[in-house]
Amino acid sequence: MTGPYFDLTGKVAMVTGGSRGLGYQMVRAFAEHGADIIVAGLIEASYAKFGKVDILVNNAGSGPRMASHDVTESLFDSVLNLNFKGPFRLASQVAKRMADGAGGSIINISSSGSLVPLPMVVPYGSAKAALNAMSLSLAHEYAPKVRVNTICPGPFLTDISRAWPEEMRQSADNAMRRPGLPHEIITAALYLASPSSSFTTGSLLRVDGSSA
Which residue among 47, 124, 142, 191 is the active-site one?
124
Q: CA-CA-CA-CA torsion for 183, 185, 190, 192, nearest 10 degrees?
A: 180
Calculate ∠ Cα 150-101-135, nearest 5°: 15
Residues 6 or more apart whose CB falls under 8 angstroms from that of 82 comprise: 60, 61, 62, 63, 127
Q: How far apart are CA 128 and CA 134, in angstroms?
A: 10
**47 among known catalytic residues:** no
* Prior bond of 144 cis (ω within 30°): yes
Q: Annotated catalytic sites, by residue?
A: 124
